[in-house]
Amino acid sequence: MKYAKDTRPEGASTEAAKILVEALPWIKNITGKTVVIKYGGSAMVDEKLRADVMSDIVLLKIVGVNPVIVHGGGKAITRAMDLMEIPVEFKDGQRVTTPEAMNLVRTVLMGEVNQELVEALNHHGNFAVGVSGADGGVIVAEQASPDLGRVGRITRINRPLLDDLVASDYIPVIASVAIGEDGGFYNVNADMVAGHIAAAIGAHKAVFLTDVDGLYENFEDKSSLISNLTVFEARYMVENNVVSTGMIPKLKSCIHALENGVQRAHIINGTTPHSLLLEMLTSTGVGTTMHSTEEAYRFDSHPLGKFASKLLENREEVEAAQKASIQSSSVH
Ligand SMILES: Nc1ncnc2c1ncn2[C@@H]1O[C@H](COP(=O)(O)OP(=O)(O)O)[C@@H](O)[C@H]1O
Ligand SMILES: CC(=O)N[C@@H](CCC(=O)OP(=O)(O)O)C(=O)O
């Protein structure tokens, strides 16, 4: 008989088990909660990375998280416009969108990016449903400014439709195209879509996957990465031009979400393998975390780290359990 000899490296399985055990409190904390994940075009570096990000999202779904994906695709839109020789112009981080460019935005976001993400997710099973924000009035918008053409400012989100998809256990994958009250299409910055959707559906947190490690106090100085900040500090950064270009809509979107019931917003590097899992399921976390209140901030920055904030988030539950235990001990 020729039996298979054990060639597995010594200790490897213990390491894997440790990682799983470390993830347990985080899984318990996040299970059943809705998390909006904004996947920026700048983080969609190649097919392999995109597929890895999608399989991390499926893993989160399988452990009980309700992910809702909002995607951009700014780089792909610019590439397509260059190819069609349509002039590319941005004002305050928003693409000036002529009716001709609007048609191309729809083709790229819905016809390419959305389908690629849905396909990568559904490689693991029938998890994802791709929608354009214009489908069923998921995102309703009005013209942001005549200077910007078909760029939209969000006026309404169709929460019941998204709730239904989440309740039916699907992962909605939403392209940042909106429908106007006039029936025409609008191009909306995907960061703003993520913040509005997170607020409208009462998401627990919003995570922005981009191409930098997080928010820098000074973008030129790579040692100035900010790990935690409050809404107040984020507002200060926007108002005093500490951030520029793509970071402006991200911070504005985080502020909107946090001021409307979302507890945390994270800006992380989507080009770093498994950054989403590191943020959601480990004690160290990655990137920049924005907090809705000073209290939440203090707890996250506490030496006990995120375990303290977990207690804060579950305070009602913890207090009820403490009361119950006091009552039961006084009975005996
Ligand atoms: N203070 C800052 N910290 C980090 N990134 C910044 C800052 N200011 C500007 N940025 C820029 O924001 C970009 C991310 O936004 P963007 O290009 O729109 O990405 P996405 O496609 O993920 O939305 C970064 O690549 C960086 O160039
Ligand atoms: C109005 C506006 O600027 N819309 C964006 C929509 C896509 C987007 O936001 O993509 P990222 O997330 O990859 O930046 C655009 O046309 O580029």
pLDDT tens for 44-69 read 989 999 999 999 999 999 999 999 99
Cβ burial, residue 303 (10 Å; 0-12/13-18/19+): exposed
Residue type at position 50: R
Is 11 domain-assigned? Answer: no
> Does residue 317 register a pLDDT over 90?
no
The ligand 1 atom nearest the CA atom of 75: 21
Residue nearest to atom 11 of ligand 2 (CA): 72
Residue 188 has pLDDT above 50, yes or no: yes
The whole-number pLDDT of residue 282 equals 87
So what's the ipTM on this one? Answer: 0.98
Q: Please compute the mean of the pLDDT values over residues 279-304 and round it to a whole number.
A: 74
Nearest atom within ligand 1 for CA of residue 217? 1
The pick from 102, 189, 244, 267 for probing ligand 2's pocket by mutation, whose C-beta has the most ligand atoms within 8 angstroms, reads 189
- Say what the pLDDT of residue 307 is: 46
- Inside any domain, residue 211: yes
Mean pLDDT taken over the chain? 89
- Please determine, for residue 312, whether its predicted confidence score (pLDDT) is greater than 60: no
How many structural domains does the chain have? 1
- CATH code for position 135: 3.40.1160.10
Check whether 324 has a pLDDT greater than 70. no
Residues 147, 110 contacting (CB under 8 angstroms): no
Residue 21, domain member (yes or no):
no
Q: Calculate what percentage of the chain has a pLDDT beyond 70.
A: 88
Other Cβ atoms within 10 Å of 225 Cβ, number: 15
Pocket of ligand 2 contains residue 74 by CB under 6 Å: yes
Residue 187 labeled ligand binder: yes
Q: Is 72 in the pocket of ligand 1 (CB under 6 A)?
A: yes
Residue 329 included in any domain? no
Mean pLDDT, residues 179-202: 97
**Ligand nearest to the backbone CA of 141:** 2
Using the atom order of ligand 2, give the atom closest to the CA of residue 190: 9
At 322, the pLDDT band (50, 70, 90 cuts) reads low
Does residue 5 form part of some domain?
no
Quote the percentage of the chain above a pLDDT of 90. Answer: 72
Which domain, by its residues, includes 138? 32-312
List the residue whose alpha carbon is closest to atom 5 of ligand 2.
Answer: 189
Tell me the average pLDDT across 83-111: 95
- CA-only gyration radius of the chain, Å: 21
Least confident piece of the model among 19-28, 192-201, 202-211, 253-262: 19-28
pLDDT value for 198 = 98
Contact 59, 161 (CB under 8 A): no
Residue 270, marked binder: no
- SS3 track for the chain: CCCCCCCCCCCHHHHHHHHHHHHHHHHHHHCCCEEEEEECHHHCCCHHHHHHHHHHHHHHHHCCCEEEEEECCHHHHHHHHHHCCCCCCEECCEECECHHHHHHHHHHHHHHHHHHHHHHHHCCCCCEEEEECCHHHCEEEEECCHHHECEEEEEEECHHHHHHHHHCCCEEEEECEEEECCCCEEECCHHHHHHHHHHHCCCCEEEEEECCCCCECCCCCCCCECCEEEHHHHHHHHHCCCCCCCHHHHHHHHHHHHCCCCCEEEEEECCCCCHHHHHHHCCCCCCEEEECCHHHHHHHHCCCCHHHHHHHHCHHHHHHHHHHHHHHHHHC
Cβ of residue 130 lying under 6 Å from some atom of ligand 1: no
| pLDDT tens profile 202-240 | 999 999 999 999 999 989 999 999 999 999 999 999 988
Closest residue CA from atom 6 of ligand 2: 189
- List pLDDT tens digits, range 103-150: 999 999 999 999 999 999 999 999 999 999 999 999 999 999 999 999
Q: Which ligand is the nearest neighbour of the Cα of 178?
A: 2
Tell me if 324 is assigned to some domain: no
**Is 24 domain-assigned?**
no
Tell me whether residue 293 is in a domain: yes
Ligand 1 probe mutation, 94, 212, 254, 290, most atoms within 8 A of CB:
212
Q: Which of 245, 266, 275 to mutate to test the pocket of ligand 1 (most atoms within 8 A of CB)?
A: 245
